[in-house]
Chain A
């Protein structure tokens, strides 16, 4: 990492023309991973990446330059180029640097970077051995553990001088069931900002069995029907619906340029009154957390929706300039090769009052999506889509046959209004979110919820 004096020199070079703000982001990331396929260790990798990004702002005009070469002369040259490209009116000021402040939301007892890969292999092998002997239909089992330590330093012309460290570890187990030409999978992929103790405590065999059961159920399942119907979304990763259909449309990236269907709607009813939602980056040890964002702001626990009323947007520095509002500590980037922008962290629909059992019992006919795949949304039109990895039909208030191949589609702004029951079994689930500033770790979450009507695209008419 650079010392304060070097950073100041870069800031001075960057501010030599008409920028009103400049920021140096320096990052060092170490990573390691092992992957097993059917008990064989097929991949073991180690990586080290570091680099620096320099951002200049003049109003809403931005210039971003970055390099994996951390040589001071190289960066001074880049800063000079950036200063030549920025389009402001006046020369800005540089405030005195604060004392370096180091933060973290990781809660680590055993640092995964010191854990031997052989120990990780032994752990994953237990899952392989179990799955391959579980049922003749299970033909493949893949497992991996990936750990990383990212240290990010932010220094800017307002005097900010922060360094945030995030240590993350993620486990993945995927089993595949084969029946004739059909192959279906079951998967778990928990992630955390705790240490290797998380892996040691993980109920690996129980979870491997659940993966096998899902894969077997789905390979034996018929196709989902195609129709509009009530859909019950299971807790945990079901929250991806909120992440895609609502979360992205609340980011300043979309709202700041009035490209979101939720633009200028603060204080308005955008969801059913049973819906409240938060974006909370401050949960200790949670996969999507961080103490300081990639602009040097303290992270926040933000109320997004309260009883259906829109309360807050996710705002970064550039977004704050476009929206004339304060940043909310949500600026993130995959690494130094991206300028930061507004992103989600741990985003979830809050607990409601319904017992999940009652939600099912109150549904005459519909789809119960217990495990969701990914999805995407167009934040200007609201068009979204989600894949259902494991689903069941609900008939007469009871869970009926399993179905596969379902996709849920609709308009985000409509779906939120159609949530008519919210359970009390909130759970968070780890994932990766891709957007303009790259892939960042996030959790999605929700209790069991019911949407009164969604178009289910299946293969049976």
Chain B
């Protein structure tokens, strides 16, 4: 399906929507073309190639917004989309009005960020890279038994939005990702798994040496890990772990969550909610970001802003509906998830502090550094902020990285943690997150409760 065909269909659909009786209506088209290979035991074990697209329609009638989606662009589909969306309008009784939007000064936006480098992403190139990388991983350490996952993929996708108010905007992006994970077996038979990832826009930017160094640290560094004695530990959440931690509670910064009474941050805009050391910005057009997002899925221009500014909750993220309810402007964070629009972040940046990771560990003295949190979909109460999570990492002893630890849980409360942040590091990494990426350094978050079992028969076992 080429974009021109979709564009013609959408124009016809929007016109038909008004004729059908919608007060305003909108069509959006998202396409995804991707290619990926998996490497296993010296071979390309799997190759995938795909092209999918989704056409979503939404129409406004008596203040209610009805949605419907399909992947078939035919005259029959027009009837199906309009009829279903109208039926959905009739059953809704949402008290909050919704909107179809068009900013007269920014109604014909065109933003293409696909690169010529994308043409380098061929099967052959990925195969060469993947096979070489698998060999190199196995050669890192004799305890590495197998590379369980080695997947390289690339994708590109245009997004087009057309509505009855005259909006007609286009954006697209492309990108490459590489994920690898291996297993290592120690002399005592204990097994550890670990890996690393890379995301980029040009395959030539992949730095294998740098990747392998980090890969080795993430896997071999864990060998011999043991649990620790339960207690309260000064804790660093290393960059990846801080991203995992912060994002699992990020829903609390969305206006809709707040308006539904499901966020403890409701009515807290403008007040101190975190340590002064913490500043988190949303930068949709960040120069170093792989995906820049000039406008959201409702056609609203995105803007750079602080969400947490030196500990103060500067602003929540709003889409058109939640902004109207709050009596303010949308922040350009209305993105489609499934068939409906809800708030999502674009590129998030945790502002770096002065110290590098060694500096943070020196500040901690005696404590623990967590590198990976597990079970984030289950072990947290997103509303109260309570969490209790399986994790792994390293002890910090005399200000230096000590032995690896595993089979422990970390527990606490999100709101307490962000208040007790002592220092933010400067070892910034970027991870895919939300509609864009999350840029974060490691963070010394103060003391947290660690549960573990150091092998001594503790009181808990006497029953």
Contact = CB atoms under 8 A, between A and B. Distances in A.
A223 B369 CA distance: 24
B71 interface: yes
A118 B88 CA distance: 9
A405 interface: yes
Contact of B388 (A85, A257, A459): A459
A117 interface: yes
A65 B381 contact: no
B193 interface: yes
A456 B451 contact: yes
A366 B461 CA distance: 10
A455 B407 contact: yes
B463 A47 contact: no
Interface string B431-448: 000000000000000000
Nearest to B36: A64
A406 B68 CA distance: 40
A220 to B, nearest CB: 13
A61 interface: yes
A26 interface: no
A227 B462 CA distance: 10
A140 interface: yes
Nearest to A366: B463
B381 to A, nearest CB: 7
A183 B1 contact: no
B407 A47 contact: no
Nearest to A376: B375
A42 B378 CA distance: 25
A459 B383 contact: no
A453 B264 CA distance: 36
B407 A383 contact: yes
B119 interface: no
A37 interface: yes
B146 interface: yes
Given A43-B340, A46-B87, A183-B383, A459 B411 contact: yes
Nearest to A374: B378
Interface in A19-47: 34, 37, 40-47
B330 to A, nearest CB: 18
B379 interface: yes
Interface string B386-401: 1011100000000000
A41 B92 contact: yes
| Interface size range on B against A | 35 or more
Interface in A198-223: 223
Contact of A65 (B50, B84, B460): B50
A74 B5 CA distance: 15
A313 to B, nearest CB: 17
A44 B379 contact: no
B384 interface: yes
A150 B50 CA distance: 21
Contact of A34 (B69, B84, B91): B91
B381 A405 contact: yes
Contacts of A176: 262, 383
Contacts of B386: 404-405, 459
Contacts of A184: 381, 383-384
B26 to A, nearest CB: 15
A429 interface: no
Contacts of A63: 46-48
Interface stretch (B51-59, B287-295, B348-356): B51-59
Contact of A48 (B70, B406, B412): B70
Interface string A112-126: 000001100100000
Interface in A373-417: 373-376, 378, 380-387, 404-407, 409-411
B458 to A, nearest CB: 6
B271 interface: no
| Interface size range on A against B | 35 or more
Contacts of A178: 261
B207 to A, nearest CB: 27
A97 interface: no
A126 to B, nearest CB: 16
B91 A67 contact: no
A305 to B, nearest CB: 22
B91 A183 contact: no
Given A85-B123, A380-B191, A228 B146 contact: no
Contacts of A128: none
Interface in B130-171: 146, 148
A297 interface: no
Contacts of A185: 383
A230 B460 CA distance: 9
A427 B384 CA distance: 30
A69 B384 contact: no
Most chain A CB atoms below 10 A, which of B41, B91, B123, B379: B379
B264 A48 contact: no
Contacts of A51: 52, 71
B375 to A, nearest CB: 4
A255 B199 CA distance: 29
B192 interface: yes
Contacts of B146: 257-259
A63 B374 CA distance: 31
Most chain B CB atoms below 10 A, which of A50, A78, A257, A380: A380
Interface in B79-107: 80, 84-85, 87-95
Contact of B463 (A118, A364, A381): A364
A407 B70 contact: no
Interface string A259-296: 10100000000000000000000000000000000000
Contact of A375 (B69, B84, B378): B378
A378 B44 contact: no
B52 A67 contact: yes
A407 B387 CA distance: 9
A236 to B, nearest CB: 16
A373 B40 CA distance: 34
Contact of A47 (B69, B377, B410): B69
A217 to B, nearest CB: 14
Contacts of A225: 460
Nearest to A459: B411
Contacts of B260: 37, 140
Nearest to A181: B264
A108 interface: no
A46 to B, nearest CB: 4
B305 interface: no
A78 B33 CA distance: 12
Interface in A54-72: 60-70
B72 interface: yes
Interface of B: 1, 40-41, 43-54, 66-72, 77, 80, 84-85, 87-95, 123, 146, 148, 183, 191-193, 230-232, 260-262, 264, 338-340, 374-375, 377-381, 383-384, 386, 388-390, 406-412, 449, 451-453, 458-461, 463
6 contacts: A46-B68, A66-B50, A117-B88, A183-B383, A229-B461, A457-B409
Given A41-B91, A44-B89, A44-B92, 16 more contacts: A37-B260, A42-B92, A48-B80, A67-B51, A68-B53, A140-B262, A183-B383, A227-B459, A228-B458, A257-B41, A339-B46, A385-B409, A386-B378, A387-B388, A405-B388, A458-B411
Interface of A: 34, 37, 40-51, 60-70, 74, 78, 81-82, 85-87, 117-118, 121, 139-140, 176, 178, 181-185, 223-230, 257-259, 261, 337, 339, 364-366, 373-376, 378, 380-387, 404-407, 409-411, 453, 455-459, 461
Query: What 8 A-B pairs are tightest by C-beta distance, nearest first?
Result: A227-B460, A457-B409, A226-B451, A385-B390, A374-B378, A385-B375, A44-B88, A46-B84
